[in-house]
Every structure is written in structure tokens, then in C-alpha cells.
Structure 1
Amino acid sequence: MIIAEDIKKMLRALDTNAGSKINERAKNRKFLRSEVKWPATIRAERGHACLHEEEREVTGIIKDISANGARIDVDGLFFEKNNLLLNIPKLGTVRCDLVWRRGNKIGLQFSEDPKRILEQLRKILPGIDDILS
């Protein structure tokens, strides 16, 4: 059908535009991200911008990481925003803030010095200097 072909063309055009926007954002990053699949836990402590009375914790998988942030697929919803603790078994615990959320995917910005994080990443990600600028 003609309508189905038009829709397919429109979807291909949207995919192309979305890909170029992602590439542009990646070029503008101070620290480029390295793709990983690391388990992690995010915790919001009671008294630190926690929406609940008790500490709240979710697990997830880090999809990419840089010296100043990470993208994570979490197991469940996570609404806390500031003063979070991200525990990465390979890296340790890093204080961070949530900067975006799309369903169960979240973006975190580390509150700690990117140089310190980069030093730690160099120990566990060979060739990271070739990835990060």
C-alpha cells in the first residue's frame, strides 16, 4: 500500500534524524562515554532528597559511563533526584545526581571530580584514553 510505504519512509527519516542528534550530542561531550554492561545499585539516603521515609535503592545495569556520568537501565522506577549514591562493584561508590529519566532508563551526573573518576576508570577499562577526550 502507498500509505504503508509513506509511513516506512517517515520512520526511516526519523531514525536518521535521531541518530544525527545523538551523534552531535556525543561530539559536544567533554568526556565521551564508553559502553559497558556493569551491575550497579543506586541509593537515595533518608534525609537526602528522598521522597520516602526510608532509604530507597534500585538495581540496574550501567550501559555507558564516562568520567562525569553514566546511563543506566534500572529495575523499576526511581524518582529521587539529588545526593544519590551509585555503587559500582568494579569502581566503588560515587555520589551523583539524576539529570534525566525516560521510563526505566536514567542519566546520572557524578558529583565527584572527573579526574579522580577517570583515574579509576583507567584501571578497569583498558584504552579508555582513546575513548575519552
Structure 2
Amino acid sequence: MIIAKDIKKMLRALDVESDHKKTGTAADRKYRRADVRWPATIRAERGHACLHEEEREVTGIIKDISANGARIDVDGLFFEKNNLLLHATQLGAIRCDLVWRRGNKIGLQFSEDPRMILEKLQELIPGFDTTHS
């Protein structure tokens, strides 16, 4: 007999498999990633596809970043997907969308012009360029 715990486990496995397929490989990436450890917040604002009645915010650490996205370990679960606002002291505020989630790890794709973000990353990270890592 299948119980709720087993169903949840199967759904999580499907999510991980699906997320893995969407993220591609390092060779598929257009922009180089840099490992960082920057504190950040992600906010879903009311009126921007927020699942809750009010604004929702979660804190976390940006683990790696590129000109078009970032991987973040968040403190808690975060289910909102679109029209999010990522804020880090180093970057300021950047509009983005959630593109994958594995537990408390999430992948964001920036809505901003990648060239603008690339310029900022080159200022912040010595030796950062456009080649793949």
C-alpha cells in the first residue's frame, strides 16, 4: 500500500529529475560562473504572481553567479516563480525568475540585460571575464 510519505518521495524524485534536465551542462552555458558567498534576499511582491496574500521574502547565500543567473541556498522553502526581486549589497536589486529548485537550493535567471550585469561582475570579481569556467 502506497502512503503519503511514499508519494511525496516519488514527487520529489520527479522534481529533481526534471530540474536536472532543465539546467543543462556547463558546456551549454553562455556565461562564465563565479563562486561567491554573498548574502541576499529574494522577494515576491504582491501583485507579481505571488502565491500568498502579502509580499514574501526569503534570505539566503548566493553560491555562484553569472551574467544571466545565480544559484542560491535559501533559508526555507520558496515556491514563487516569476517577477522576483533579488537583492544583494554587492549587486543592488535585480529582477529575476526562478528556473529550478532542489530543496533549499534554487536557480534564478536574471531579467536584466546580461551585458550590464557582466560589467558589474567584472568590477566586483578580479579576473572575471566571459570565458567558461
* Letter aligned with residue 41 of structure 2: T
Measure the CA separation in 2 of the matches of 1:87 and 1:64. 15
Larger radius of gyration: 1
- 5+ residue gaps, structure 2: 1-20
Return the structure number with greater relative CO, CA threshold 8 A, min gap 6: 2
Matches within 5 A, 1:22-37: 25-37=25-37
> Which residue of the partner structure matches residue 69 of structure 2?
69
Runs of 4+ that moved beyond 6 A: none
Kept in 1, the 8 Å contact 2:31–2:130? The answer is no
1:88-132 CA-partner distances (Å, limit 9, x unpaired):
111110000000000000000000000000011111111111655
How many Å apart are 1:54 and its aligned residue?
0.4
User: Size of the alignment, in residue pairs?
Assistant: 111
In proportion to residue count, which structure has more helix?
1
What percentage of residue pairs aligned between the two structures are identical? 77
Would the alpha carbon gap of residues 131 and 88 (structure 1) be closer, same or farther in structure 2, given more than 3 Å must change?
farther
- Secondary structure of 1:129's aligned partner: coil
- 5+ residue gaps, structure 1: 1-20
TM-score w.r.t. length of structure 2 = 0.79
- Secondary structure of 1:94's aligned partner: strand
> Which residue of the partner structure matches residue 107 of structure 2?
107
Measure the CA separation in 2 of the matches of 1:99 and 1:129. 24
Would the alpha carbon gap of residues 34 and 102 (structure 1) be closer, same or farther in structure 2, given more than 3 Å must change?
same
- Secondary structure of 1:122's aligned partner: helix
Matches within 5 A, 1:89-128: 89-128=89-128
TM-score w.r.t. length of structure 1 = 0.79
